[in-house]
Structure 1
């Protein structure tokens, strides 16, 4: 999984690149079911991370997320 750093509205935003190629690099040649589960889990983590970033961004005016 790659972590891509982008700038949006003068705020630092971290997005996760979870393409099928990266998932295959992580898990190798396992069953397709594992790929699907990994994709769903990654998306859930990204949603939680984005919500956390938004909440912290409101408190810290988007200067620092960590």
Structure 2
């Protein structure tokens, strides 16, 4: 006698609110690059950041601005 396999219902996607500040590692994930590259871009002044408790965070608007500049070739 064969078993019947029940398929699990697909999970619902939840809307996750966008953060205002991203740690370097998460900014790297969003930009599809390494954390070292993000730090290099910050040091070169091409990616804006803020310092909180001696750690650098990338604001959400800075990620958007960076991508816009990279796509427009400025």
Fold similarity call, TM over 0.5: no
How would you bin the TM-score normalised by the shorter chain?
A: under 0.3
Q: Provide the TM-score with structure 1 as the length reference.
A: 0.27
Give the helix-richer structure, 1 or 2. 1
Larger Rg: 2
Give the strand-richer structure, 1 or 2. 1
Q: Provide the TM-score with structure 2 as the length reference.
A: 0.26
